[in-house]
């Protein structure tokens, strides 16, 4: 499916040497923007909101978040109408948002009180979106579990308790919002929740070997909890809500694509597939295929990896066809090589090393302001092929974007040519995947609508297509916002020329 002549270019992807082709997209192809509640809402204690693990993590001393927090951030909670009007002016058709669990159930538990003020906010948001002809796509969980549940039983580390509390939370959302919301996501990026939250500790709740948590087993238990909680909620939605609400539900998985560090070494060639199975197959195989974990994971991890019971496998088999789409978050591509030395006891990659440079010293692509995030559209196209071949579900690109080098400078921030080139090349890759590879890709949601609190990096990296002055909260659309508005109109009308915007 992938033309051999197009497999090799990794570097010099910017500038005239690698021009945007402005390839066409289907007229029905959807254009959206995405955000997460904790990153943009602010109003951390307003109107009865409870604490989440991110409210706790971002206030630790010494700081784990660059000395910053999201108590105010973009203050979307109090600027919601303005933000929806801005989306409308920029031609955004779908808004992927997340709900703050602790805003609507402050303590989080299945027997805990509901905060009607939080419910009212999300009702206003959904209604305002629909009044502006913008489709809401709602993520139930984007990393901000209520602190009450973490304090009570460590959240994901107690599968039984978490499943029950997540089911109650999801049922509340389906009941209060499902008459208008027709697209649901259970969890955003379970890989990140498991590894970054419970192994290297860079994200909340910050579990890592340095603080004495059991990193050899915790990430796999967390992943297990997320898979089964997802399946339980999908089954509930299908039985109790889908017949009358006619919505669709799925999960969002992230993943890099990989190329062999040394293309002459079979071990590095094999490492590509292994890394993809440890990253994507870990969740994708049980959820989308109704199968056990990939064999390579079971063989390597042994008793570290929890086992599915017969009842669990029955649930996965029943719910796998209910998932209505593959939610794909993708940002970049890396090289991988198989290491031969003794792995750490909590190794999570099968001793595979990732890098941005291969054995010849070639870079995978030009770097954004985040060294790991490189412009590599050929890897994006290959990733769509890998997902389609394995799961054969319609794909929605639920997150894709980048921060520009030097974007702290307001002029670079608004004249964001690097981002425009990145977005244009990645949209070209989608067109090639659709028309040349036969993949069903239904839509694209840029990350992110606006600059926001970038988790442990604080307010440094700016991924937004709208610039936010975090002192005045003024919103200013960047060149990329207008570029996307114009390029989607042109590509879906099969026009061929869209200039980068100053």
What is the rounded distance in angstroms from the CA atom of residue 218 to the CA atom of residue 356?
Answer: 28
Q: 3-class SS at 3?
A: coil
Active-site entry in 147, 218, 399, 454: 399
For 78, other C-beta atoms within 10 Å of its C-beta total 15
Task: Note if 218 is an active site residue.
Answer: no
**DSSP for residue 15:** G
User: Which residues pair with residue 445 across a beta bridge?
Assistant: 32
37 token code pair:
């509640």
Three-state DSSP at 431 gives: helix
Contact yes or no for 380/439 (Cβ under 8 A): no
Distance CA 65, CA 28 (A): 40
Active site residue 189: yes
Binning the chain into helix, strand and coil, the percentages to the nearest 5 are: 45, 15, 40
Of 189, 259, 277, 454, the active-site residue reads 189
What is the rounded CA–CA span in Å between residue 244 and residue 87? 29
| Gap between the Cα atoms of 38 and 369, Å rounded | 22
Identify whether the C-beta of residue 224 lies closer than 8 Å to the C-beta of residue 306: yes
CA dist 232 and 236 (Å) reads 6
Q: Are 444 and 33 in contact (CB under 8 A)?
A: no
Q: Which two tokens stand for residue 337?
A: 């090589």
Structure tokens at 357: 């440079």
42 φ/ψ angles, rounded to the nearest 5 degrees: 65, -145
Structure tokens at 420: 């425009």
Contact 442, 395 (CB under 8 A): yes
Give the 3-state secondary structure of residue 180: coil
Of 132, 117, 144, 131, residue with least CA distance to 51: 144
CA dist 82 to 73, 135, 314, 354, 377, Å? 15, 17, 47, 42, 34
Question: What are the catalytic residues?
Answer: 189, 399
């Amino acid at each position: 499916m992938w033309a051999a002549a197009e497999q090799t270019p990794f570097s010099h992807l910017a500038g005239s040497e690698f021009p945007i082709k402005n390839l066409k997209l289907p007229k029905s192809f959807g254009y959206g923007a995405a955000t997460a509640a904790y990153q943009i809402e602010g109003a951390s204690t307003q109107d009865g909101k409870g604490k989440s693990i991110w409210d706790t993590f971002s206030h630790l001393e010494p700081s784990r978040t660059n000395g910053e927090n999201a108590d105010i951030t973009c203050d979307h909670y109090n600027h919601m109408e303005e933000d929806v009007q801005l989306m409308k002016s920029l031609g955004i058709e779908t808004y992927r948002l997340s709900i703050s669990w602790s805003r609507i159930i402050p303590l989080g538990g299945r027997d805990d009180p509901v905060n009607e003020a939080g419910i009212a906010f999300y009702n206003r948001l959904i209604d305002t979106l629909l009044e502006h002809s913008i489709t809401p796509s709602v993520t139930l969980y984007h990393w901000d579990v209520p602190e009450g549940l973490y304090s009570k039983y460590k959240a994901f580390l107690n599968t039984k308790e978490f499943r029950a509390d997540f089911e109650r939370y999801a049922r509340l959302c389906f009941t209060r919002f499902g008459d208008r919301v027709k697209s649901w996501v259970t969890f955003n990026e379970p890989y990140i929740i498991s590894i970054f939250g419970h192994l290297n500790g860079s994200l909340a709740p910050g579990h890592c070997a340095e603080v004495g948590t059991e990193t050899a087993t915790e990430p796999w238990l967390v992943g297990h909890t997320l898979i089964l909680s997802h399946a339980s909620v999908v089954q509930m939605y299908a039985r109790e809500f889908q017949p009358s609400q006619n919505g669709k539900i799925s999960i969002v998985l992230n993943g890099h694509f990989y190329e062999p560090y040394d293309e002459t070494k079979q071990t590095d060639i094999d490492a590509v597939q292994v890394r993809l199975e440890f990253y994507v197959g870990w969740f994708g195989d049980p959820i989308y295929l109704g199968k056990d974990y990939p064999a390579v994971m079971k063989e390597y991890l042994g008793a570290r990896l929890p086992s599915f019971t017969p009842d669990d496998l029955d649930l996965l088999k029943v719910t796998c066809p209910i998932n209505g789409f593959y939610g794909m978050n993708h940002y970049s591509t890396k090289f991988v090589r198989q290491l031969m030395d003794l792995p750490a006891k909590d190794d999570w990659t099968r001793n595979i090393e990732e890098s941005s440079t291969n054995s010849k010293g070639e870079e995978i692509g030009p770097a954004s302001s985040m060294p790991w995030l490189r412009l590599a559209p050929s890897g994006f196209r290959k990733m769509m092929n890998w997902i389609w071949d394995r799961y054969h579900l319609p794909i929605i690109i639920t997150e894709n974007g980048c921060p520009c080098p030097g974007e702290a400078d307001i002029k670079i921030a608004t004249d964001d040519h690097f981002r425009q080139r990145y977005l244009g090349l990645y949209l070209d890759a989608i067109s090639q995947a659709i028309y040349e590879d036969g993949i069903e890709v239904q839509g694209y949601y840029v990350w992110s609508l606006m600059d926001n609190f970038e988790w442990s990096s604080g307010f440094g990296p700016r991924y937004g297509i709208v610039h936010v002055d975090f002192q005045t909260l003024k919103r200013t659309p960047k060149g990329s916002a207008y570029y996307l508005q114009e390029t989607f109109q042109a590509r879906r009308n099969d026009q061929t020329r869209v200039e980068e915007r100053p």
